[in-house]
Structure 1
């Protein structure tokens, strides 16, 4: 029973559908099963119409005119060259007024099939905006605009005006429509152009200039620019992956900003910013070719006029001088102009098949803020601050490294007297190593009061599990250079050979038991000495322990 009811409902729906879709039969000249051979599109008057042009197919637009002696027709190709022809068709016998038209039979279809004559009024082929202005045909029954794109599927915009002239529907471009380049920088270009005559003596609220920049080409019309951006968007969606857009300074699709009443996004540099005829486009890439187009917009009528665009290449970014570091070279890096940020660049190429290396740095600049950035092949590997503590950076797997030292901010701190550098740096190839060398657990030096005599003392300090050389230097307290020698970045190279009292090798595989001692003799009774211990390494700069002050006994 339910199945019978459902079948009856379906039959009823089908009968209603077919009875509603079939047109009534009027005469033999309009059979109900006849479908128009060509699409029927009426061209509106006083509005911009966008027409899609499939490759190799002719699109036809129809329009009729009121009793007016003249008309104007503007056709703007989008993206590629097109062919268009305007003809006036006159029917020998006009259709019957009593003929009722359905969705399958329209007035232009009858004009096409009925006997009549055609008169070609105007034709054009190209990729620029073309305008026809002339008299209307007094005998024409209908006007037919044929458009065709042979190269590729494209679009075009058409604007029809009845009467003499365009009557201000389109903004006017000056006699010299060229866009001039006033200045070119590394990331900006300044443009200028002659003002539009549409701004003279007329309300300017509806007019504004819009500047478009891209890295592809200049566009002859606003329609061409929109079509190119639309195709980029479609291509991006089809690929389903992120890609660089052709509009480097525009964060949104810019034509959306030109339609409706929405305000222009603040990120859109110099796009639709009033009636000033000078504009600086910024946030560009150095050493890049850009194309600039200017459009005069009429928001009231929704029309635009294009200036003749220009192109400019931004200046190349100033390449910093890069100093090559040699194997094991110890370098003192001095920053000039202490009142501002300064930077220096170095390169290092490790030796050996493994291409391993070690970069060690230590700051001597007191309160200076120094940052080191290591990169290879344009990729940043590490970036960190450099202070009074030793910085070790392991280099592995790249043939060459770029080391960027940058002093950030300002400081009033002065270097210790006698120092001529802010950062101490050393690079060396690390053959057969698998990582950075180990460091002592503490850099404190200890003395033993029970082992302190009139002519000798005993010192102890922590070593490492790697076999290394340790050297001890002494000096009497009160020398003028005493303050300078306390700087942690100063190594044995700053000491006199007469101050060195001993050097010894030491190694302990257990880091907790890596303690070594040294007895320092040949001292004067009742004298205060400052002892400095240095860890001499095969890789990296020497490590200075904290200075230890000890006074020998006066009487023993």
Structure 2
């Protein structure tokens, strides 16, 4: 039977604890312990001078221990909650006489010392409840066995713990400047420029420091640990399946284990409906709207591609590249500026208006016909690529269409109505168009073209210096103008469409092309 690695770890843990020696400042032993990440993950020992990561199940307390061997020892303990508030307390139990340093000098196994304090409360030194990065600092601590107890009453969560008896020399966390605030120095519609004072850890202590900037729309963060927990959030994956609904009790075939329960012998796989539901829970990952950018040792940064009129929260973290431990500046927030309000163009009844729209841009027009009108006609001539047109009457959407070439729309009138026209340009490039709005029936700005607007060239009538072409006529009597242009062999329909402005009339064309 194949076992998962964490299952093996659970079996070996009691054996490890029986032979575990307390971490000391013996440098060779300390370095060996630092490299052994599995030791810290599964052990209840906090090593001196190293940050450990842990995980708490909701309402399940966890206890960690460490020894201070001599009286009057400086002590610093730092607890970093990640994605949920924590309750934690630090208590002290005096060391037994045989471990006071007068004996062999060898520290007792952890299990033996832990057994001695099971029925003794000890002295509570410090307690805290919340989601701040909180410190316990003492310049002169008594010798003894220290217990750190943590619990999360809100949800399952990650956390980090750091303890040291040499806080003056260690200093693995970057120090904040005298003014730790992040300032907004420039604010635009889509950009925000941030600035902050550099950490003394870089300038005075010459430690390798880089800054990481975090942007999100919800709130400020107090640690990179909290940021990473949010970025990696997958609540569906961490959701505990409900017995009898999502799977049968003790049926772990879905997770790769064979069931020892007789009730599961006849079930080699999950029921389809339940299995599909659980699979959706596992694979569905919520979209996390948060961004982290590490920018080296610069202390000014411009955030781009933001949305106008939107509130954002900004955090800066100083990261010690040598220890990978970080400190949070005091974050800030700002609302980007609103989009510049576009001027609405008034359309005059029966008059053609030329409109230019930037790539992906939008223009608004307003038409206020006479109060007694029965119908309204909108004639649109898109000169280049297709454009989108929407017409609203007193806020109600009446039409929404894509227009390429010439289109005409006729709407039923309404007394005292006002019409708002929204034109959206092409994604390919700038758009040009002509538009006419009228409440008069006989006002037709553009000739009515036939459905087939192709021009046919007759091959048999082609000569070295002439080409004969033909097209369908119009019902009304109109004047036709024909233009020619010399093009290269690789000239395609796409080139033609891009260059040809269908709105250019005879007065704007070059005479040599006529």
Query: What TM-score results when the alignment is normalised by the length of structure 1?
Result: 0.53
**Equivalent residues, number:** 363
Q: 5+ unaligned residues in a row in structure 2: which ranges? A: 1-11, 19-41, 239-279, 369-374, 413-417, 442-447, 456-470, 483-504, 506-514
**Counterpart contact for 2:236–2:285, Cα < 8 Å:** no
**Counterpart contact for 1:357–1:427, Cα < 8 Å:** yes
Given candidates 384, 387, 393, the residue that maps to 1:372 is 387
Structure 1 CA distance, aligned partners of 2:64 and 2:401?
Answer: 64
**1:76-113 C-alpha deviation (Å, 9 max, x unpaired):** 2223432222122235575999xxx99xx934542344
Higher helix share: 2
Q: 5+ unaligned residues in a row in structure 1: which ranges? A: 1-19, 27-38, 255-270, 350-355, 412-420, 431-436, 445-459, 464-469, 474-484, 489-543, 545-556
Structure 1 residue 131, shift from structure 2 partner: 1.5
**Counterpart contact for 2:189–2:337, Cα < 8 Å:** yes
Given candidates 128, 136, 149, the residue that maps to 1:124 is 128
User: Within the alignment, does 1:245 sit opposite 2:288 as a pair?
Assistant: yes
Structure 2 CA distance, aligned partners of 1:80 and 1:22?
Answer: 29
Point out the structure with max Rg over C-alpha: 1
Query: Which residue number corresponds to residue 209 of structure 1?
Result: 211
- CA distance 1:59–1:347, change in 2 (3 Å): farther
**Counterpart contact for 1:193–1:277, Cα < 8 Å:** yes
Structure 1 residue 59, shift from structure 2 partner: 1.4
Given candidates 231, 243, 264, the residue that maps to 1:229 is 231
Structure 1 CA distance, aligned partners of 2:122 and 2:360?
Answer: 77
**Counterpart contact for 1:40–1:109, Cα < 8 Å:** no
**1:450-497 C-alpha deviation (Å, 9 max, x unpaired):** xxxxxxxxxx9756xxxxxx5447xxxxxxxxxxx7679xxxxxxxxx
Query: Which residue number corresponds to residue 315 of structure 1?
Result: 337
**Counterpart contact for 1:82–1:147, Cα < 8 Å:** yes
Structure 1 CA distance, aligned partners of 2:285 and 2:346?
Answer: 38
**Counterpart contact for 2:380–2:403, Cα < 8 Å:** no
Query: Which residue number corresponds to residue 46 of structure 1?
Result: 49
User: Within the alignment, does 1:298 sit opposite 2:320 as a pair?
Assistant: yes
Helix, strand or coil at the partner of 2:229: helix
**Counterpart contact for 1:54–1:154, Cα < 8 Å:** yes
Helix, strand or coil at the partner of 1:73: strand
Higher relative contact order (CA 8 A, sep 6+): 2
Structure 2 CA distance, aligned partners of 1:429 and 1:245?
Answer: 54
Query: Which residue number corresponds to residue 83 of structure 1?
Result: 87
Q: Please, what is the CA RMSD of the aligned residues?
A: 5.0
Given candidates 335, 352, 359, the residue that maps to 1:332 is 352
Given candidates 299, 309, 318, the residue that maps to 1:287 is 309
Given candidates 182, 186, 190, the residue that maps to 1:183 is 186
User: Within the alignment, does 1:146 sit opposite 2:168 as a pair?
Assistant: no
Structure 1 segment 520-539 matched on structure 2, within 5 A: none
Structure 1 segment 236-275 matched on structure 2, within 5 A: 238=281, 244-247=287-290, 250=291, 254=292, 271-275=293-297
Query: Which residue number corresponds to residue 166 of structure 2?
Result: 163
- CA distance 1:211–1:139, change in 2 (3 Å): closer
**1:428-456 C-alpha deviation (Å, 9 max, x unpaired):** 899xxxxxx99354699xxxxxxxxxxxx
Structure 2 CA distance, aligned partners of 1:312 and 1:214?
Answer: 11
**1:529-553 C-alpha deviation (Å, 9 max, x unpaired):** xxxxxxxxxxxxxxx9xxxxxxxxx
